[in-house]
Structure formats: C-alpha cells, structure tokens
Amino acid sequence: MTDDALLESLKQLVEPGKVLTDKDSLENYGKDWTRIYAPNPLAIVFPKSIEEVQAIVRWANQHKIGLVPSGGRTGLSGAAVANNQEVVVAFDYMNKILDFNAIDREVVCQPGLVTKQLQTFAEEQGLYYPVDFASSGSSQIGGNIGTNAGGIKVIRYGMTRNWVAGLKVVTGKGDLLDLNKGLIKNATGYDFRNLFIGAEGTLGFVVEATIKLERKPSNLTVLVLGTPDFDSIMPVLHAFQNKLDLTAFEFFSDKCLAKILDRGDIPAPFDNRYPFYALIEFEAITENMKDEAMAVFEHCVEQGWVLDGVISQSEQQLQNLWRLREDISETIAPFTPYKNDLSVTVSKVPAFLADIDNIVKADYPDFDVLWYGHIGDGNLHLNILKPANLDKEDFFAKCAVVNTKVFEVVEKYNGSVSAEHGVGLVKRDYLEYSRSATEIDYMRAVKTVFDPNNIMNPGKIFK
Amino acid sequence: MTDDALLESLKQLVEPGKVLTDKDSLENYGKDWTRIYAPNPLAIVFPKSIEEVQAIVRWANQHKIGLVPSGGRTGLSGAAVANNQEVVVAFDYMNKILDFNAIDREVVCQPGLVTKQLQTFAEEQGLYYPVDFASSGSSQIGGNIGTNAGGIKVIRYGMTRNWVAGLKVVTGKGDLLDLNKGLIKNATGYDFRNLFIGAEGTLGFVVEATIKLERKPSNLTVLVLGTPDFDSIMPVLHAFQNKLDLTAFEFFSDKCLAKILDRGDIPAPFDNRYPFYALIEFEAITENMKDEAMAVFEHCVEQGWVLDGVISQSEQQLQNLWRLREDISETIAPFTPYKNDLSVTVSKVPAFLADIDNIVKADYPDFDVLWYGHIGDGNLHLNILKPANLDKEDFFAKCAVVNTKVFEVVEKYNGSVSAEHGVGLVKRDYLEYSRSATEIDYMRAVKTVFDPNNIMNPGKIFK
C-alpha cells in the first residue's frame, strides 16, 4: 500500500482534519525535549475517543506501522520521539476531566489533561495533586503515567504510581483493559496497572486514568540553607527528617545558583555565597513545628553543616525560594547541557557523587559540571555544560564516553541509570547497567504478550 | 521415576533432614487458614539459601512437579494449599534480617521473617513498619508480599506494595531477578517488582525483600463511637478525615461486639449498645489535634450520627479498644464463618452494603450475618455464621449460592471479589466478576513468560 493510501485509510478512523502531515506538525509532534533526534514521523493522528484509539491500534497492526504516543512531549529520554516513519498518536483532544468524587477524592481524566490543570482542579476542590515538577505546565497526565513521573514532592508523596487508582489502557492488540477501577484494595491477581505505569507506551496506551487527590498541605514553609561542602548536605537531611515530615528536600550547587542569579529576576536567598545549598520544605501545621525547624537549623549551624539560612515568611518568598531550584533546568537549557538523571539509595549518595565528580574532573577538566536534584530521594541530576568553543557533535561524542564511565559507577553502587526520566532512546543502550540481561529478556517477552507485532512505541526502552 | 526416586533426588538439593514426608508435616504444611481443602502434598522442602530455591525450581521443571510456597499459612484464600501432590517450599529457615540501614530506613530480610518480628525490629530502631493485621504474629513477609497484604493501617500507609523497595525473586524458570534494589526512584522499564507483589507465588518465589520503614507515629489515639445505623458511619468518616490524617478507620456491627463481649476478657467500650461502631485512630501530635478530634466528635453527636463515644487515655485503653475490632476474626472462627472480603470505592459502600444485606436476608433469613472491616478503604468483611443445626457441607453449599449473587453485586458496583485476601483457590472461579476475561487471558500469558511449565503454585488465581 502506498503511503497515500495508508494515510487515506487512517483518516477514515478519526474525525475530518484529525490526521496531519504538514511539515510543521511532523517536526513539532515528532520530538520531545531531548532535541537529539531528527523527527521523522509519517503522520500525526488525533483521536477523540477510546474507540478511535482502538481503531488506530488495529489499523497499525494490520499495516505493521509503529505508533508513538504523544503527550506534552516534555520528556528527556526520547520516549516520545518519532524518528522512524511512525504515526504519532497525540492525545491533545482527549484532555478532559470526566468525573470527580469528593468522598473518594478521586478524579477521572483523559490522558491529554495537562498536569497543571489537574493541580488547579484539585485546589478548586480544596484538595491537592502532589506530583509536581518543572514541566507541569505542559506535561500531560498520560505522559506522567507512561514515565511514572517523579519530581519535587516524592520524599513525602511518592511517584505518579502512588496516585493512579485506576487505568484504562488500549493494549498493542487493541484490547481495552479497565485496570483496578479506582479501588484502594484489590487483591485479584496480577497488577497490570503498575506494569503499564512507567512502560513508556511500549505495552499499550493510557486512555483514561483515575487519580487520587490528597488533603491540601497547610502552611508550607521553605528553608534554604548554605553549606560548606556537599558532605554536609546529608546530615542536614537526617537532622530535619528525624524531627519533621518533610514535603521536599532538594539541593543545588553554587554553579547552579550563579546561573539563576545571572537571570536577574530571582532574588538571592542571602548576601553570601556557599558551595552547596539545601532547600527544605515542610508543613508548619502548628507554630510548634516552625520552632522545631529552627531548633534543628541551630543544631546544624553548631555542627558546622550549615553556614547561613533563610526561612520563608510569606507565600511570595516561598515561591521565590522554590524558583532557585525549580528554574535551574530551564535556565541552563541554552548552555546545551548533557543531562543525566541518576539515583542510588540515599546512604550511598556522598560516595557516589564524589566518584562521579572525580571521573568528570579527571577526564574533562574544562567541562562545567552542575549538580542539583532530589537528594532526599537519592536522585541526582548531573548536567555537563557544553564549553562555548566545542561544537555540539564533538561535545555529545565526548559526553557519550563519559557516560559509560558514569554508568559503571551507577552499576557499582546498585543505582539507576534513569531515576525519573525514563529510558526511551537516550538510555536504551545503557539499560544493562541497571537491569540484568535476564530481566531485559523477560521485559521483551512481556512486551510480546501485550504487543505481539511490536507496533507500540517500537525501539523504546529496548531494541 | 517413582515417588521415592523423585524424593531422593530432591533431598540431594538441600541439607539433610530438610525434606519431610511424615503425615503430620504433610497435613500441617499442606493447608492455610481456609481449612476447606484436604491437604495432599508430596513432600515439604525447607531451603536455606537462594541457591537451594533455584535448585528446587530447576528440579521441579525437570520433573514437572508443582511447587507451593509456604509462609505462615495464615492466608484465607487457599493460595498456600497443596492438595494435588505438589511439593511445598517452606521458608521457615530463611527467616533472618540480613541488613539494616538507618539512613535509608531500609531493612533487608528473608521471606520467612514473621511480620511481628519485623515490626519489633523496626521499633527497636525507633522506627515503624506500618503493615499490620490480626495474623501478624504468625504471617511471614514473603506471604505478605505474595498477597500484597493490607490490614488495619491502609488508610494512612497503604498496602504491603508501598513498603517493598526491593525484591529478589526466583522465577518459574529458576532465574534470580534482583528487582529495584531498594531505590526510591528508578524509571528503567517494566516494574516487575509490582508484578510479583500480589502474584501469590504463581510467577516465582520471593527469596529476599528490602522493606522501607517509617517514622514511628507519636501518641496514637483511638476513639470508638456508637452509631444509630450503618448510614451514619460514612459521614463520620468524612467529618474526621476532613480535619485529621487518620491512621485507621474501622467499623463493626453490634453482632460482632456481642461475640467479643461474650469472651469475657475484653471490656465493653461503654455502658450502652448501638447497632454499629466506628473505630478511629489518629496521631495526636499536639494537644490541639485531640481538641480538634473532640470538636468533630461533638459535631457528629449534634448531627445525630454518633450516640456515644470513648477516647483512649492510655496505651492500655488503646490496646483494649483495638481488641474490640482486631479480635473479631479469631473470636468468630469457632462458628465456622463463611468469609468474604469485598471492596468498592468508599463512596459506594452504603448502597453496596445495603444491597448485599438484602440478598442474604431475603434468601437466608436464618443466617447470622456479621459485618466488619476497613471501611475507610472501602473494604468490607462479610461473615456468614453457620447455624448450629446445619452441617458444614450443606452450609458451604448454601453459601456458594449466595456467593454468586453477592459477586453479581460486586460486579455491578465495579468492586473487588477479594480486597486483601487474594484469589488462591477460594476466589478462582469468581475472578471474572472483578477482572475481564481478556485481562485473565493476559494474566495467563504473562504467567507463561515467567513460568512456562506451570510449576509455580499451579491452579492458583486461575486454572
């Protein structure tokens, strides 16, 4: 069948105008935030119902066409890249909140709902959707589920996985599965809901989700602390964690802060500068807890772990302090960062970070290395900035060499080559540093169960 | 090969004396708490290492012998029953705590560790293992994981699933998989850890687990409230949930209380009796929160939802109040209860319970129906007691007829035929009321990936 005939048959499955093949659309919908791969989809299709998604999947099986799911395309692993004549299935028109139950605190939504909209909806109900991260303004719930998105509140609230009470998926065979149906307790065999969460669309597509909401935290309070070195960050974490239920514990290096302050629109946390900073957030439910936090702060100063600090006194100041950490990713984007999103268990973080730092410093002393991340979860974002005098290809080639060394360290520490960004294309060749060859074989076999013709996001996670 | 030769070859794989075939052992290790099925195992084997488990699985594949995992055998679904000449793999000698990391708050243990011992170990570290239920004194961690055990603290802490940071399993092919390695964030492909949790040993056996521990709750406080009817229970739940983070919200009917008080060793909560009771637990972190609870209580009294109440003033009183709820299962055991463990979303509970009550009352007016359960999770335990004048076979036969009607209601309300007890043998024939035929087909296919010869707990969950 010619491409034209193929596309004609695809157009029959959706509403008029809901298959796009213009250059701009192909370019736009064929890539995510990685910008490493040249987009090359065959077409973009916009289903408006579960039945249309099923029809598209059956069509793809019939014609052996790969399908790539597309949400907000804010991913950093290339999981939403279509660079091999796939058809992109974009959920932009399946973006509604379908139901809400105040007693169950559960909201039923379509996969194209933007994360921020869910957060806002929750607030309007006096509730809270706690999964939050820098790209919440454009990422979509379906993509969050596909990558089991994490972010800045994981230490208290866990990953996206924890908030999915029900999931409707269309498998690679075109079957609609209604998984867990919003239940809290359900011990009826294999938990396919959790299997689809984080599967990056390789087993099937999320077409509806039941999301749990939570009590809105009261009087969130942020401290930003300056520390003399990285090794002081961890005892600070433990000191605070022993006394308070933290909602966030983040860190960033002074190199990150320098980039943030260069913007000119975010105030410095305090007058002096320090090698590293911790950002701590907790619910000050009572005045008592604020006092408790201040006592821990003073203890940390006495121990020499903390040299300076500020505590938020208003919502505005809290927002400004958060921007010091939250805006790093966006701020360094123009410097063509080579990103790695690594994790180890929390206790191993100091030794792990020192090992990686040594590797990069030894082999690439001219590279600017920026560390920040969700240290309370053992999750470190390693960003290597491209030196101005190096071209992009050379830079990425050098980084690829560093990568292997970095991942050997990850493997040594029993860590993860992708803490929260997923595997996609970017980490595919490095998956064996975190998952055994045997595990990957089982993954392939499980994929075959749900997607025997390998049409669902083919080539992502593994070849 | 004769049975004798088979057993001889099995004995070569483990330490001397670690294969038992005496009548008492076969009887004891061949059954769980269901007591419905006649135990009939071929032998009981006690591995002492992961390597021995792998050898046993390879042996079973070679000889096409079914293996049944055995923990504390406190299950209520028959998942640990060996009634078909299987070899029972008992983890009694793999019962140690192997490692503990205070910074990560993670403990590494073997599957045979008794739940209570893990709870005690956590307390000794100033921490808390929050999965708790009536059989915690004899159930084992491996069994908890196999059934994704729930219990009395789910409303705050979730199921066993939430506390498993890492899992080593031996698959039905004899492969050892090291899943998630204790990481908080790990986005590297399919989450097999969650697939094995709740799989009831049908995909493989848990041979090691990394369990997260939690901050110990401070000053737990219990209220027991008497209500005029079941419909008052739900607004009481919502009133308290809106003001406090509850650690438990349980309920029981007066028929349950009557059985408890008949024991003579547990004090009544208050002088009068009421149709239903709610048990509410929360952390009274500040004096403030206790005042808040009292204010909600008074509001509930004003609304007519609550007629009487008591709040714990000491640890001893808290324990006594908990026994009113926790000891029901053990107390009614001599009455040969026919148990059902159902769940729906919380908002559907009142209508669901009324429907089921009507069915049982209409068809079996002489049956004594006892309701209790984890109402805050939408989880209801329906217990039908055997009338003294009916023999056991007749009684179970009549209950099986009720079952079908009950499960039709479960299906109508999109509920679960097994909230936390698992499927095993007891719910196997009713699985389609909660999971579609298509889903069950996918389950079978996934089992084939991990256990191609169907030797791992064969016949459990599905035929």
Find the CB nearest B416 among A185, A416, A450: A185
B5 contact A CB<8A? no
Give the model's pLDDT for residue B426.
94
User: B194, A189: Cβ pair inside 8 Å?
Assistant: no
Of A164, A181, A102, A98, nearest to A130 (Cα)?
A164
Give the model's pLDDT for residue A365.
84
Which pLDDT tens digit goes with each residue over B96-105?
999 999 999 9
Sign of the torsion formed by the C-alpha atoms of B17, B20, B21 and B22: positive
A3 contact B CB<8A? no
Mean pLDDT to the nearest integer, B367-390: 92
* Mean pLDDT taken over chain B: 95
Identify how many contiguous H helices and E strands chain A contains and give both numbers. 15, 18
User: B343, A286: Cβ pair inside 8 Å?
Assistant: no
User: B150, A374: Cβ pair inside 8 Å?
Assistant: no
- With tokens 């629109």, the residue in question is A265
Which pLDDT tens digit goes with each residue over B281-300?
999 988 888 999 999 999 99
Residues in chain A closer than 8 A to B347 (CB atoms): 101, 103-104
User: B182, A414: Cβ pair inside 8 Å?
Assistant: yes
Find the CB nearest B345 among A150, A171, A183: A183
B218 contact A CB<8A? no
Question: What is the number of CB-based contacts under 8 A between chain A and chain B?
Answer: 226
Is beta strand A214-215 parallel, antiparallel or unpaired with respect to A67-70?
Answer: unpaired
Question: Which amino acid would we find at residue B228?
Answer: P
Give the model's pLDDT for residue A35.
79
Chain B, 383-402: which have a CB under 8 Å from a chain A CB? none
By the 10 Å C-beta count (0-12 exposed, 13-18 middle, 19+ buried), B366 is classed as exposed
One pLDDT digit (tens) per residue for chain A, 463 residues:
788 999 999 999 999 999 999 999 999 999 999 878 999 999 999 999 999 999 999 999 999 999 999 999 999 999 999 999 999 999 999 999 999 999 999 999 999 999 999 999 999 999 999 999 989 999 999 999 999 999 899 999 999 999 999 999 999 999 999 999 999 999 999 999 999 999 999 999 999 999 999 999 989 999 999 999 999 999 999 999 988 989 999 999 999 999 999 999 999 999 999 999 999 999 998 888 899 999 999 999 999 999 999 999 999 999 999 999 999 999 998 888 988 999 999 999 999 999 999 998 888 888 889 999 999 999 999 999 999 889 888 998 888 888 899 999 999 999 999 999 999 999 999 999 999 999 999 999 999 999 999 999 999 999 9
Which tokens in the block code for residue A299?
């203890």
Give the model's pLDDT for residue B72.
95
DSSP structure class, residue A84: S
Q: Which residue in chain A is spatially nearest to B106 when comparing CA positions?
A: A345
Residue from B186, B374, B377, B441 whose CB has the most chain A CBs within 10 Å, to mutate: B186
Using the predicted structure, report yes or no on whether residue B202 has a pLDDT greater than 90.
yes
Q: Which residues contact B166 (CB under 8 A, 6 or more apart)?
A: B106, B108, B178, B179, B180, B181, B182, B183, B193, B208, B209, B210
CA distance B373 to B343: 10
CA distance A311 to A289: 13
Give the model's pLDDT for residue A336.
86
* Minimal C-alpha gap between B422 and chain A (Å): 5
A440 contact B CB<8A? yes
Give the model's pLDDT for residue B147.
96
Question: Which amino acid would we find at residue B178?
Answer: D
Sign of the torsion formed by the C-alpha atoms of A288, A290, A294 and A297: positive
Give the model's pLDDT for residue A400.
86
Residues in chain A closer than 8 A to B434 (CB atoms): 186, 188
Chain A, 24-83: which have a CB under 8 Å from a chain B CB? none
Residues in chain A closer than 8 A to B460 (CB atoms): none
Q: Are the C-beta atoms of residues A445 and A64 closer than 8 Å to each other? A: no
CA distances to B129, B358, B461 from B147, rounded to whole Å, are 17, 31, 11
Chain B, 172-201: which have a CB under 8 Å from a chain A CB? 175, 177-179, 181-192, 194-195, 197-200
Q: Which residues contact A391 (CB under 8 A, 6 or more apart)?
A: none
A417 contact B CB<8A? yes
Give the model's pLDDT for residue B286.
81
* Minimal C-alpha gap between B234 and chain A (Å): 9
Residues in chain B closer than 8 A to A249 (CB atoms): none
Phi, psi of B55 (to 5 degrees): -65, -40
Residue from B156, B161, B185 whose CB has the most chain A CBs within 10 Å, to mutate: B185
A183-A184-A188 Cα angle (round to 5): 65
User: A374, B171: Cβ pair inside 8 Å?
Assistant: no
Q: Are the C-beta atoms of residues A174 and A167 closer than 8 Å to each other? A: no
Residues in chain A closer than 8 A to B181 (CB atoms): 345, 414-415
B280 three-class SS: strand
Binned at pLDDT 50, 70 and 90, residue B36 comes out as confident
CA distance B367 to B383: 10
Mean pLDDT to the nearest integer, B190-195: 98
Of B446, B427, B377, nearest to A195 (Cα)?
B446
User: B427, A188: Cβ pair inside 8 Å?
Assistant: yes
Q: Are the C-beta atoms of residues B256 and B326 closer than 8 Å to each other? A: no
H or E stretch including A67? strand A67-70
Give the model's pLDDT for residue B285.
83
Q: Which residue in chain A is spatially nearest to B378 when comparing CA positions?
A: A184
Chain B, 97-136: which have a CB under 8 Å from a chain A CB? 101, 103-104, 106
Residue from A180, A190, A342, A426 whose CB has the most chain B CBs within 10 Å, to mutate: A190
Q: Which residue in chain B is spatially nearest to A196 when comparing CA positions?
A: B190
Residues in chain A closer than 8 A to B189 (CB atoms): 198-200, 423, 431, 435, 439-440, 443, 461-462
User: B416, A187: Cβ pair inside 8 Å?
Assistant: yes
Residues in chain A closer than 8 A to B378 (CB atoms): 183-185
CA B304 to chain centre: 34
Q: Which residue in chain A is spatially nearest to B165 when comparing CA positions?
A: A345
B268 contact A CB<8A? no
Which tokens in the block code for residue B308?
């009487």
Size of chain B, expressed as the number of residues it contains: 463
Chain B, 221-260: which have a CB under 8 Å from a chain A CB? 234, 238, 245
Find the CB nearest A345 among B182, B189, B238: B182
Find the CB nearest B103 among A182, A346, A414: A346
Using the predicted structure, report yes or no on whether residue B38 has a pLDDT greater than 90.
yes
Give the model's pLDDT for residue B302.
98
User: B416, A347: Cβ pair inside 8 Å?
Assistant: no
CA distances to A63, B17, B35, B145 from B96, rounded to whole Å, are 55, 20, 29, 16
- With tokens 């491409």, the residue in question is A3
Cα torsion B356, B360, B365, B369 to 10°: value is -80
User: A419, B177: Cβ pair inside 8 Å?
Assistant: no
Phi, psi of A338 (to 5 degrees): -95, 115
Burial per residue of A373-400, b for 16 or more beta-carbon CB atoms within 10 angstroms, e otherwise: bbbbbbbbbbbbbbeeeeeeeebeebbe
* Minimal C-alpha gap between B181 and chain A (Å): 7
Burial per residue of A86-111, b for 16 or more beta-carbon CB atoms within 10 angstroms, e otherwise: bbbbbbbbbbeeeebbeebbbbbbbb
Q: Which residue in chain A is spatially nearest to B427 when comparing CA positions?
A: A188
By the 10 Å C-beta count (0-12 exposed, 13-18 middle, 19+ buried), B20 is classed as middle
A379 contact B CB<8A? yes
For chain B, what percent of residues have pLDDT higher than 90?
89
Chain B, 135-164: which have a CB under 8 Å from a chain A CB? 147-148, 150, 154, 158-159, 161-162
Give the model's pLDDT for residue B363.
83
B12 three-class SS: coil
